[in-house]
Structure 1
Amino acid sequence: MPDPIIPTRIIPAGQPIPTAPPLPPAPPGSTNLPPWRTAAPAAPVPPLAPPPAVPAPAPDPAPIVVHVTVDMVAPEPEPEPEPGRWARLWDAVTARVKPWQAAAALVAAVIPVPWTGYSAATTWAATMSEARDMHVAVGYCLAVGVFALTVRRFTKSHGVVALWGIAVTGIGLFGAVSWYDVVVVVTGASR
């Protein structure tokens, strides 16, 4: 609970209220003062400073001589930025294989042979799968060996038939490869 109010002076009833001491004057320059406040007298104006003395005229400056030497140097041409990895790969491939040859070889490798219903690539992949069933090493050796021979023939001739052989044997590699072989090689655990 807050402290009780204790009066410092008690004025009996009927007595006039004593007058308060005068208020201090308002700051100088105050406006809109109530009638019971008075403004303080304005501060005295400081005396004006004497005007500065006129300096003596300066002598005429000496002439300024500027020598400019311009060396005309041709800027070095900026080197062309290095091509990215994909640009270099595309340039390397298109230097050896024309895009229309690659497209023709891939289409010829996956189009089904008439009266069989299978393409040359799927037939080779099935053959590699059968070789893998005999033994894993037989499947890998046969698939990788024939693929290497077709790549060697293509490096010598650069023909469409050699490119067709790369497409067929490259797709046929998937008949000999099993993703589980990676697990066997890394861990040694067989099926």
Structure 2
Amino acid sequence: MLLVVPEPEPDRRPRLWERLWDWLVTWRMIAAILAALVPWAGGRSPVGIWAHTVHQARTEAGILAAYVIAGVAIAAAWALDRHTGRAVPRALLLTALLGSLGVLDWYDALTLLTGVHR
């Protein structure tokens, strides 16, 4: 009598993109994106307000101070989101991440590479 042993199924672990998709596309993330990008705060979005704030800090306090403010805001929002995982901290994280682009200037990369100022 011939005994057939079935082959074990390969251990199928989700790929990186599948895990990333599962993490990003949740109702909390969609609510956070809407809360961060929709202009509901006096006709402006929270991302736009934060971008304006860090740009003003760059203008008035200096480049380093603006980068520090933006970095601390991102770190605090990330820690809060990591600890709770709720929609409001996720919206704060998105606001801090996207709004911090307001601190950037195209000339920063040239200054960093060459040391040449305007």
* TM-score normalized by the length of structure 2: 0.83
Partner of 1:66: none
SS of 1:127 mapped into structure 2: helix
Q: Which amino acid aligns with 1:131?
A: A
Q: Tell me how far 1:163 sits from its aligned partner.
A: 1.0
Q: Which amino acid aligns with 2:113?
A: V
Q: Tell me how far 1:126 sits from its aligned partner.
A: 0.2
Does 1:86 pair with 2:12? no
Task: Compare the two structures and name the one with the higher helix fraction.
Answer: 2
Identity over aligned pairs, percent:
32
Higher RCO, Cα 8 Å, sep 6+: 2
Partner of 1:130: 56
CA distance in 2, matches of 1:188, 1:158: 41
C-alpha offsets along residues 34-66 of structure 1, whole Å, 9 cap, x if unaligned? Answer: xxxxxxxxxxxxxxxxxxxxxxxxxxxxxxxxx
Does 1:159 pair with 2:90? no
Summarize the Cα distance change of 1:160–1:88 in structure 2 as closer, same or farther, 3 Å threshold: closer
CA distance in 2, matches of 1:118, 1:102: 20
SS of 1:79 mapped into structure 2: coil
Partner of 1:121: 47
Larger radius of gyration: 1
Partner of 2:33: 106
CA distance in 1, matches of 2:35, 2:78: 17
Q: How many residues align?
A: 117
Counterpart mapping for 1:1-191 below 5 A = 72-80=3-11, 83-91=14-22, 93=23, 99-113=26-40, 116-134=42-60, 135-191=62-118
CA distance in 1, matches of 2:52, 2:76: 19
Structure 2 gap ranges (5+): none
Structure 1 gap ranges (5+): 1-69
CA distance in 1, matches of 2:14, 2:110: 38
CA distance in 2, matches of 1:178, 1:81: 45
SS of 2:117 mapped into structure 1: coil
Q: Tell me how far 1:179 sits from its aligned partner.
A: 3.3
Q: Tell me how far 1:146 sits from its aligned partner.
A: 0.7
